[in-house]
Structure 1
Amino acid sequence: MKAIGIGNALVDVLLQLENDEILSSFGLQKGTMDLIDENQMVSIRKAQENLKRSQAPGGSVCNTMRAMAQLGASVGFIGKIGSDEAGAYYEEALRKANVISYFSHVPGISGSSTVMISPDAERTMATFLGPAATLTAEEIPDEVLSAYDCIYIEGYLIANERLFVPVLKQAKRLGLKVALDLSNFNVVNGFKELLLEVIPSYVDILFSNESEAEAFAGRQAEKAVSFISRMADISVVTMGSKGALVGCKDGIIRIPVSGGAPVDTTGAGDHFAAGFLYGLSAGRSLEKSARVGSFLAGCVVDIIGAQIPDRQWEQIKLKVREILS
């Protein structure tokens, strides 16, 4: 199964906070993702310019595709970037990661997400979408999608009316499986009616974390996963230290958490999805696929940021082969 992702192409700038005061001073709710404009982005960065920071190609779907490529999967990524240095950096990073990229280019600056990591490892994201928010289905040729078997879409795209539903219809018309991540409980709360309409019609695999699943289903996670799996063939609900649940027509599979106490939870859900989709691409069971997802999530929370260092991947691949054997 060849997978292609479509998401917001954003450069992540990760800041390690000394305390949470900066969050309240900018009106940010801890643990959430807020959209900001270019001026707000500059103000936040300037206020924290003395903090330790790092940069990486980001956006949740990009994180997932890069991790799948590291495991050896054949993957692609669709996005939109500017003509600046950040856009060039993003494109080159995907090339180095063996992800085939399909970018639309526009003049100007690229989108970015400032990821503020609290002392307790929780992350808060302030995101400037830039040109990423202007991608349309008309910019995605049928021949690009038809080269793949599965499309993975982030819920953040739901606000883009010219992209979200049209690309779901396009993917289904071309015979692709559709995997959707709900992305954030604010997405669920803001677009619940539309989600209730499109998920039964177009979505085969639905990813969510505990708060997103509960917001969508209106019930606790264990009941939410059953509710969702009546709409989509497969429902995956990640629950942090409590592990994960995978729902399907045959019942619920419980997956234990992997790894120790997290250093930074950035990218945990993205890597769970990467491991799960990789397991399915290799023709393995839902349980084994989810165990790979849990393992990858446990690896990424041990580091700062959503990019596992290259030097760790050989050992990771050995463990993944062991899980899938």
Structure 2
Amino acid sequence: MSKILGMGNALVDILTRMENDEILENLEFPKGSMQLVDADTSAKILEQTASLPKEQASGGSAANTIHGLSNLGVNTGFFGKIGKDEMGAFFKSDMSAKNIEPLLLESDMDSGKAVALISPDSERTFATYLGAACELAADEITEDLFKGYSHFHIEGYLVYNQPLIEKALQMAKESRLIVSLDLASFNVVEDNLAFLKDMVAKYVDILFANEEEAKAFTQKENHEAVNAMAEDCNIAILKLGKEGSLIRQFNETVQVGTIDANSIDTTGAGDLYAAGFLYGLVNYLPLQKCGELGALLSGKVIEVVGPKMDETRWNTIKAEMDRILN
């Protein structure tokens, strides 16, 4: 039976809906980017947005993908590091509640948090304080971590600690797991391009990227970008937002559309696409169906604030999955 292990920054998302982009301009944050900030800057941003409506959810890219897979009935686990605080307890209980095996180490630092600044057009910009998450170290990656798992999904945001991500990828491959990597954010890719290219060529079977990430990774766009991505991995997935997605394996390229959706927040869209795609993959579905499941989940999650969906929405998704698969 397939079992998927996720690894990433264990963060609590603080989802903040802005009336305009003035806060981004004041902070000098490129819209749609992920910015690493220190504790003081994180506190300052929370102060500046104190009057705006907020919601809280356990987050982090890989954790969101694992949540999606667990909601679809896939056996999953998640490896990361949290603080011994209220947010750490919240993160752990949220994992356990979804039957995700919480392989969580603890630190004396505060748990990580990501302030998701949501623009009126639904684009989100992250100000991420890693906190305890950044204390995860390469020497904490052991062979035992991968026992019982068939797949390993890791987020590119971990690249701030290159020895950590390289050790994890190497040990996953040595343990014969199928490895998938989500490139995370265009500025992360730009800052670590040579290293990421090396890691993909050596260890990655499945590579996920959106348009901006793919352009940063390949210096190409659309079909040329997905072709270039696929040169160093088994399956390359290029997410094109409203234009759907392109999936390339060997000499075959599959084009997948989108579902009709009323987008209010794109947080988690790429993560849930990965969940749908990986669900199809572990169930041995053709690439077209894998992509359609990814499009279904990403289309549903952008209709809610944050990366999590309630049981009613998941039941709707499962009913629509039956239609796609039959």
Return the TM-score normalized by structure 2: 0.97
**CA distance in 2: counterparts of 1:137 and 1:299, whole angstroms:** 36
Q: Secondary structure at the match of 2:162?
A: coil
Give how far 1:171 is off. 0.6
**CA distance in 1: counterparts of 2:62 and 2:152, whole angstroms:** 10
1:36 match: 37
2:103 match: 102
Give how far 1:186 is off. 0.9
1:163 match: 164
Q: Secondary structure at the match of 1:276?
A: helix
* Same amino acid, percent of matched pairs: 39
Deviations along 1:167-210, whole A, 9 cap, x unmatched? 11111111111100100111211111112212111000000001
Deviations along 1:244-266, whole A, 9 cap, x unmatched? 00011132100001232411111
**CA distance in 1: counterparts of 2:320 and 2:145, whole angstroms:** 33
**CA distance in 1: counterparts of 2:181 and 2:112, whole angstroms:** 22
Q: Secondary structure at the match of 1:31?
A: coil
Give how far 1:131 is off. 1.3
Deviations along 1:207-230, whole A, 9 cap, x unmatched? 000111111111112111011112
Deviations along 1:80-136, whole A, 9 cap, x unmatched? 000010000000001011111101101131000000111111111100001111212
1:250 match: 251
CA RMSD of aligned residues (A): 1.1
Contact 1:259–1:299, Cα closer than 8 Å, also in 2: no
Q: Secondary structure at the match of 1:303?
A: coil
Return the TM-score normalized by structure 1: 0.98
1:308 match: 309
Q: Secondary structure at the match of 1:148?
A: coil
2:181 match: 180
Point out the more displaced range, 236-245 or 196-205: 196-205
Contact 1:289–1:324, Cα closer than 8 Å, also in 2: no
**CA distance in 2: counterparts of 1:201 and 1:140, whole angstroms:** 18
2:260 match: 259
Contact 2:8–2:62, Cα closer than 8 Å, also in 1: yes
- The 3 A distance-change label for structure 1 pair 195 and 108 is closer
2:65 match: 64
**CA distance in 1: counterparts of 2:230 and 2:163, whole angstroms:** 28
Residue 302 of structure 2 corresponds to residue 275 of structure 1: no
Q: Secondary structure at the match of 1:162?
A: helix
Alignment-mate amino acid for residue 57 of structure 1: S
1:124-135 matched pairs, under 5 angstroms: 124-135=125-136
**CA distance in 2: counterparts of 1:321 and 1:134, whole angstroms:** 42
Alignment-mate amino acid for residue 152 of structure 1: H
Contact 2:17–2:54, Cα closer than 8 Å, also in 1: yes
Alignment-mate amino acid for residue 119 of structure 2: S
Alignment-mate amino acid for residue 12 of structure 2: V
Deviations along 1:273-298, whole A, 9 cap, x unmatched? 00000111111111101100000000
Deviations along 1:130-153, whole A, 9 cap, x unmatched? 111121232233122121011001
Q: How many residues align?
A: 325
Q: 5+ residue gaps in structure 1?
A: none
Q: Secondary structure at the match of 2:253?
A: strand
1:1-325 matched pairs, under 5 angstroms: 1-325=2-326
Alignment-mate amino acid for residue 93 of structure 1: D
Q: Secondary structure at the match of 1:163?
A: helix
Q: Secondary structure at the match of 1:75?
A: strand
Point out the more displaced range, 126-135 or 310-319: 310-319
Alignment-mate amino acid for residue 252 of structure 1: T
**CA distance in 1: counterparts of 2:69 and 2:323, whole angstroms:** 17
Give how far 1:26 is off. 1.6
**CA distance in 1: counterparts of 2:140 and 2:85, whole angstroms:** 20
**CA distance in 1: counterparts of 2:130 and 2:322, whole angstroms:** 37
**CA distance in 2: counterparts of 1:283 and 1:2, whole angstroms:** 14
Contact 2:141–2:167, Cα closer than 8 Å, also in 1: no
Q: Secondary structure at the match of 2:192?
A: helix
- The 3 A distance-change label for structure 1 pair 192 and 273 is same
